[in-house]
Amino acid sequence: DSRSGPTEVTSAGTVDNDQAEITAHPAQAFGSDPLTVRDTDHYTNEYVKGFVEKWDDLIDWKKRYESEGSFFVDLLKSRGVKSVLDVATGTGFHSVRLIEEGFDTVSVDGSAEMLAKAFENGLNYGGHILRVVHADWRWLNRDVHGEFDAVVCLGNSFTHLFSERDRRKALAEFYAVLKHDGILILDQRNYDSILDNGFSSKHTYYYCGEEVTAEPEYVDDGLARFRYRFPDDSQYHLNMFPLRKDYVRRLLREVGFQRVETYGDFQETFTAEDPDFLIHVAEKS
């Protein structure tokens, strides 16, 4: 039974493996036992229309700009980056930002719905025409040709890969589209603190005031299931793999990146003692 042993979090923050309610929005196709869904290919079922649109309506892009600041832009500029491949475009937040900052940007996502939304957002936020490519990271080089100065994989996206084989394959594909001196910027939630420090670290993340909340609903070494609640009481989930910082750093090194630097946080969230987000910058040469 995959539910015995590991910890589950109730909204009160107490451990209760038997009573915590594991529910799922019907549109997300998690099936009768969502905790068994630990599959890289499931991500396209999780980012369903209602979820994505609500998220984008509520998380004002301007506010997101402010909380993130110019961290990535500064980093890229300081390294003389001109061309960027955004491999986790989602609804386009980073792609649009990069285009506005003058980077030659190509936007990839494995979800066609996400890319459609990103394209629409590009037009709405400044009339930008995004160059979009529908591709899964594991077969990126089949669809994306060219050499980029940087690859960005942001917004805690790498967490969607559930096997080490998939992670290595994806990183190898990122490595291959980079110029000889290119860099990869990949961010992730700080899962170490969630896995190690127990419930004290499992705080609720508030976005846009309290309009959207994100909470870990269930966590074990192989699954972090987060619940996202919206003001109309609807809730959606994402099943993610809880990446440990040193593990990701090691993988980056093992696929060939020569140097990996890891930064903590750039954005404000609630009651965070440890950083909520970690940002790895990996250099190819």
Residue count at the site for ligand SAM (CB under 6 A)? 18
CB of 269 to ligand SAM, least distance (A): 14
Kindly state whether residue 157 participates in binding ligand SAM, applying the rule CB under 6 A.
yes
Taking alpha carbons only, the member of 69, 72, 63, 111 closest to residue 91 is 111
Give dist(CA 73, CA 15) in Å, integer.
41
Kindly state whether residue 90 participates in binding ligand SAM, applying the rule CB under 6 A.
yes
Give the binding range for ligand SAM (CB under 6 A) out of 75-83, 151-159, 191-199, 271-279: 151-159
DSSP-derived letter for residue 197 is S
Interacting residues with ligand SAM between 94 and 113 (CB under 6 A): 94, 109-111
Enclosing H/E stretch for 171: helix 164-176
Interacting residues with ligand SAM between 48 and 77 (CB under 6 A): none
Interface pick for ligand SAM out of 51, 103, 137, 174 (rule CB under 6 A): 137
CB of 252 to ligand SAM, least distance (A): 17
Strands laid side by side in the 259-264 sheet: 132-134, 104-109, 83-86, 148-153, 178-189, 277-283, 259-264
CB of 159 to ligand SAM, least distance (A): 8
DSSP-derived letter for residue 59 is S
Interacting residues with ligand SAM between 228 and 257 (CB under 6 A): none
Please give the full DSSP string across 2-36, using - where no structure is assigned. TTSSSEEB-TTS-B-TTTS-----GGG---S-GGG
Kindly state whether residue 43 participates in binding ligand SAM, applying the rule CB under 6 A.
yes
CA distances from 39 to 113, 163, 225 (A): 19, 8, 13
Q: Give the count of beta carbons closer than 10 Å to the beta carbon of residue 254.
A: 11
Would you say 8 or 136 has its CB closer to ligand SAM? 136
Interface pick for ligand SAM out of 35, 81, 154, 177 (rule CB under 6 A): 154
Interface pick for ligand SAM out of 156, 188, 193, 239 (rule CB under 6 A): 156
Closest residue by beta carbon to ligand SAM: 155
Residue 20 is which amino acid? A
Would you say 125 or 199 has its CB closer to ligand SAM? 125
Taking alpha carbons only, the member of 103, 80, 241 closest to residue 170 is 241
Give dist(CA 204, CA 246) in Å, integer.
24
Interface pick for ligand SAM out of 8, 68, 136, 192 (rule CB under 6 A): 136
Q: Which parts of this chain interact with ligand SAM (CB under 6 A)?
A: 43, 47, 88, 90-91, 93-94, 109-111, 114, 136-137, 154-157, 160
